[in-house]
Amino acid sequence: MGVAQHGKDEMMTEDPFGKIRTLTMKREKAQDEWRFEVLNLKAAGFSTRAIADVAGVSHDTVWRVR
């Protein structure tokens, strides 16, 4: 088996979706952490608009977090 063929075989055995799966898990974790922090800030008495301004999202986005 030549070097070029060996490389092709390795690519075929690797999960071509591995990176997107990892990134999706990271994104979901970040979304959960973001939501938790919004809830903490709301509980601390910060306004929806103040949180939204700092987070760079609409106040409606923050308002919908439950």
The contacts found for 27-36 with CB under 8 angstroms, 24 or more apart, are 35/65
pTM passes above 0.75 = no
38 and 51 in contact (C-beta within 8 Å)? yes
Tens of pLDDT, residues 7-58: 555 556 789 999 999 999 999 999 999 999 999 999 999 999 999 999 999 9
Give the pLDDT score at 2: 52
Give the pLDDT score at 13: 76
Q: Name the residue with tokens 């999202």.
A: 57
Find the distance separating the first CA and the last CA of the chain, reported in whole Å. Answer: 58
Give the pLDDT score at 10: 56
